[in-house]
Amino acid sequence: MKNHFIDDIAEKNVKLLITVDCGTRDIEVINYAKTKKIEVIITDHHAVPEIIPENVVALINPKLKNSVYPNSNLSGSGVAFKLLHALALTLFQKNEVEKILKKYIDLAMLGTVADCMPLV
């Protein structure tokens, strides 16, 4: 992530940035986003540094020290898909959740393959 990307989305009045496969190490850029009044949700799967972003709505990473998620090797797109799943369960009727997940599972699979991550 780079500050000029934040500038671009701030000009478009974006108020929430959800990252996919990045952000755990981007403290400075996230703090910059906050100065532009942009909230950030991080979905990532990369190694977690000693100091992590605290100025975020959420940091979702199966490699976090306190993570209880059973698969710490989930791909970045897999982490984003799990966020979609949680949001769908919260916002939609049960019969609609499966339709939503089926609509986007191909993207999660493509991201997993492109990231050279295991499929199981």
* CB 69, CB 12: distance < 8 Å: no
Tens of pLDDT, residue by residue over 51-107, are: 999 999 999 999 999 999 999 999 999 999 999 999 999 999 999 999 999 999 999
Q: Indicate the domain borders of the chain.
A: 3-114
**Tokens encoding 68:** 């209880």
pLDDT band at residue 115 under the 50/70/90 scheme = confident
List for the chain the helix, strand, coil content (%; round to 5). Answer: 45, 10, 45
The strand pairing partners of 39, in sequence order, are 16
CATH class of segment(s) 3-114: alpha beta
Rounded distance between C-alpha atoms, residue 27 and residue 32, angstroms: 9
Q: What mean pLDDT value characterizes the chain? A: 95
Distances (CA, A) of 49 to 53, 61, 63, 64, 95: 10, 12, 10, 9, 40
Structure confidence at residue 20 (pLDDT):
96
Structure confidence at residue 119 (pLDDT):
66
The angle subtended at Cα 9 by Cα 6 and Cα 13, nearest 5°, is 125
Q: Is the confidence at residue 116, as pLDDT, over 80?
A: no
Structure confidence at residue 33 (pLDDT):
98
Closest CA relative to residue 56, chosen from 71, 70, 39: 39
